[in-house]
Structure 1
């Protein structure tokens, strides 16, 4: 797939998409999450790009939704689907499902929808989905305590590209390697010529390092899993709740994630925790140990009865001796006990092992002093030892954990992708359940599609359909049966449901051409090239707007074969007499062209008389008035001109006042003429 051939993808966007591991797969699958990981592409834009790629793949010309009202219907039904998603991803992913005239695209989505309808929207699955989001790319990982070393400039460039997380240094010889080892905790030499060289410090000779970057920089895979830990755990929960198959070992992945902290360090290792705590607490523990020694020695001095004879005192003074000499002579045992207490406190406080304890003991010397002071050089040596041990331990644990997780990276990606796609499927399943939907049957055009029935004789047939756009509970909506082949006029009383019927037809056709289930017990339709839905015009149009409307229908009449045309009370655009003539002419052109059309009109009778062909007139019939409210049969009656609301009201008045004629009063003398119709009867006759 040529990326720049996709609608809306220019050179810059194509470059960004090319950085994906498999851009063609992501574009063909409508994988919005993966597309959105390309540099500079948001999730919303990713949906638009995916939609353009799908159209390009199916050679879809677009434009199925040919009018504003048709586009409104699509956005409304799409909104109902998106309301039933849990994740933002699924809502964006649904944007890639659009009404298309291409059979291949319709069939592709129908296959997806059939599988979706098998899903059970379990509450545990929906709850688990709340934590699932597309995986994030880890930020730039920089490791400062390690470096790569090489003597070769070309090798240097390869290393910079292969392992950007580490500094790469050029050295000339073993001496240069030794200098690096003094500045880094670990130096990885890339040249085999360094094998056997002995230098102080942690120097590893790894000629294969660039082929196994995860071993050299375990932070690379670990940062990916650390950054996405919660998302992966949520995806694992979704797979378990929905009993989905996974491409990776869920238990192993879960175990690996449990050993990882948010910052990418290894968690749950007691020895690493001990060393980390010891390094962090060293200064505080040394100060506390110093206080222990001084407090104990101070108490000993305070309690000790020291006697110094004159000759001894004179000798001490002459030698310039101070309290240290006095301690050495008179309180040697007490000083030794105080220092030992300090050493033990430091060792216990830091939980040091035997080797570390030997270094810690040097923090407090044997030579008597008061106050007792720690040896800062010894403290530094202990810190270096503990830090080195911590880094060695952390490095080994990182390498082990990275090795466990590295092979699960693609499986983890698939895990999240499957969970997100499940949300899309469940949204379709929930929509279908909420509106009692079924998969429609298409009668394919044999000339255009290669097989099927006679689509030329088919428009649409809906059985027990309920418009999802009505703001009513489903059980409160009367089911509607309606079928049209060719061109039809739809008549009916005001507020009888004519516009709702058009909305139902439009919703069924849009959803069917999206490849999705429709809100009806049954539906059959042809594949339409486009949908023209003209909503009711508010008020009479001026001359310019009227001309524009007529031009629009002229274009449609000339090229409308395969179109579905829905029009709501076009007569409102101009005077009633002229409207009937214009609508009759439009219907004639559409009928000749093989289009399918439904025109809602209160002038159905007049239009039928003016048309030069036997136009079908269907009617939404009001069966009467009950407590001032219309009682309506919502399913249009075929070949039936429905009575108007005024006719029903006049009929009701005539019935209530009897059929005996008018009663007049003349000079107090009442007369009755049974042969003369009453006032309401005469009005009623005008509707015949």
Structure 2
């Protein structure tokens, strides 16, 4: 699939998508998680791109939702589905589902729904899903103790692109490499020509570095898993809780992750910890060892009377000798013991058994007071410890990175599968919450049995079930607040969900596969001439089109005077009848419209059973071929029955 052929993907977005390993495959799958891993592409944008790619793949259009009210119903349906998700990803992923007239797309979404309804949305799975997030690519990894070196400009450019985490240096010869080795713990020479050079420091000649990025920059794999380990672990728990096969051994990945710190370093290695502590605490340990030696010497001096004969004193003075010479002459043994104590203290404090020889020379044998360390020796010891620490850390990083690198792709599959499972479970929860069924697609018109709208402002369990079927064109009459608009909304919502491939809130539904849904909501008051003309043009275009359509209209008569409205609506119904459309028009002028129609239009009614304590009692399911009585007629009938006055009987006769 050509990236820029997808609706909504321009040159800049296409360039970002090309940063992915296989962007065409991600678009082909409509994989929101993979698309969102492209630089500067949010989950919301990824969902829009995926939806555009799906439309392109099925040669689909966005014509199904033909009016604002139809689009509002889709938004309502989407809100209901998204409310059942656990992850933000699943909520965005559901936006790739839209009502479609494409048979291939509908077959695809129906297959998804069948799979979703077989899922068991247990609390344990939901709890595990709460910690699953799409994998993020760390883009701030910088390695400062290592560099790449090359004498070739083309290799330099290639290395800069392949290893953005490292500094890449242009060099001319071995002297330049040696200079780099003095500033970096490790220099990786990329040119075969540097093989065999002898320079001080850790210099590796690796012309095949591009084929083995893990050995060059293990921090890349470590940073990826450090950033995403909570999500990977949670995804593993999701698979365990859901009882589904994971694309990797979860114990293996858990063992690898347990060895990784949040900072992307290797955890739980005693030797590395020892070396790190030795480097960090070296100055403090040297100072402490000095204190031990000086305390012992001070104590020895305080406890001894040192006697020097006059001739000896004169001789020492003539030679310019000071306290050091006195120590050497009078306290040689005590000084030796103090120095040994300092050396032992330093070695023991930092566990320097492997560097004991170097550590012992940090305190020279020549007497002095106070005892002072040899800074050159300490600096050299620090260099040795640091080099050994870095070598071990690098080796451990490489070992762990190699293991994790092999797990990266299956770990990504693990997380993606968990996120996609949340999408399926959201549909399963939606179906369970609203007692949904999978609709039958086919035939003509629409038939709903036991339908209950989740859009009503009452608890769903309190919604009265509705049965309604229409094929062709029908008028829906009924009392005020009897449920005409909610019935129309139910029909529209069922149509939207069915064409999304989703389950619908009813016991049983059969629905024609429509190409468009045209829902004209109730207008607020009489329209001015311009708006009236615009509305008529809409219906003119609608009536003359050849698409199979579902037309829902709520009280169109309010656009102009009642007498003219009845004639206009009758004309519209005649045109829709000729076009084999399925249409339901809610109207208080059903009788007048029926009389004005040139064909035998079906009139259904939502009947009021009567008045009880001033409240209407209504049968919410429309009755076929029944012109429902109005609320005023019911009130007059009640008064006639209660009072027995002829006045009310005469008024009641007027309704016949």
TM-score (norm 2): 0.97
Structure-2 separation of matches of 1:571 and 1:181: 87
Q: CA deviation at 1:290?
A: 1.2
Could you give the per-residue CA deviations for residues 562-619 of structure 1, whole angstroms, max 9, x where no partner exists? 1111111111111111111111111111101111000111111111111111100101
Question: Pick from 648, 653, 656: which aligns with 1:685?
Answer: 653
Partner of 1:287: 287
1:554 to 2:540 alignment: yes
8 Å CA contact 2:285, 2:346 repeated in 1: yes
Structure-1 separation of matches of 2:547 and 2:282: 86
Could you give the per-residue CA deviations for residues 633-654 of structure 1, whole angstroms, max 9, x where no partner exists? 1000111111111111122222
- Compared with structure 1, are the counterparts of its residues 171 and 584 closer, same or farther at alpha carbon in structure 2 (3 Å cutoff)? closer
Partner of 1:388: 387
The aligned runs of 1:207-606 (5 Å cut-off) are 207-353=207-353, 355-443=354-442, 455=443, 458-559=444-545, 561-606=547-592
Could you give the per-residue CA deviations for residues 532-582 of structure 1, whole angstroms, max 9, x where no partner exists? 111111111112211111111111111154111111111111111111111
8 Å CA contact 1:561, 1:594 repeated in 2: no
Structure 1: segments with no counterpart, 5+ residues: 444-454, 663-677
Q: CA deviation at 1:461?
A: 0.3
Taking only aligned residues, the RMSD between alpha carbons, in angstroms, comes to 1.7
Q: CA deviation at 1:496?
A: 0.6
Partner of 1:121: 121
8 Å CA contact 1:560, 1:595 repeated in 2: no
8 Å CA contact 1:87, 1:130 repeated in 2: yes
Question: Pick from 632, 638, 645: which aligns with 2:618?
Answer: 632
Q: CA deviation at 1:193?
A: 4.6
Structure-2 separation of matches of 1:379 and 1:193: 37
Partner of 2:596: 610
Range moving further from structure 2, 120-129 or 518-527:
120-129
Structure-2 separation of matches of 1:644 and 1:499: 15
**Total equivalences in the alignment:** 656
Q: CA deviation at 1:156?
A: 4.1
8 Å CA contact 2:440, 2:509 repeated in 1: yes
8 Å CA contact 1:186, 1:204 repeated in 2: yes
Q: CA deviation at 1:283?
A: 0.8
Structure-2 separation of matches of 1:263 and 1:214: 18
- SS for the counterpart of 1:378 is helix
Structure-2 separation of matches of 1:312 and 1:393: 56
Q: CA deviation at 1:346?
A: 1.3
8 Å CA contact 2:236, 2:250 repeated in 1: yes
Range moving further from structure 2, 241-250 or 598-607:
241-250
- Compared with structure 1, are the counterparts of its residues 575 and 168 closer, same or farther at alpha carbon in structure 2 (3 Å cutoff)? closer
- Compared with structure 1, are the counterparts of its residues 475 and 160 closer, same or farther at alpha carbon in structure 2 (3 Å cutoff)? closer
The aligned runs of 1:122-271 (5 Å cut-off) are 122-171=122-171, 173-271=173-271
Q: CA deviation at 1:154?
A: 4.5
- SS for the counterpart of 2:526 is coil
Structure 2: segments with no counterpart, 5+ residues: none
Partner of 1:106: 106
8 Å CA contact 1:181, 1:201 repeated in 2: yes
Structure-2 separation of matches of 1:101 and 1:197: 70
TM-score (norm 1): 0.92
1:653 to 2:639 alignment: yes
Partner of 2:31: 31
Structure-2 separation of matches of 1:167 and 1:465: 66
Could you give the per-residue CA deviations for residues 48-68 of structure 1, whole angstroms, max 9, x where no partner exists? 111111111111121211111
Q: CA deviation at 1:383?
A: 0.5
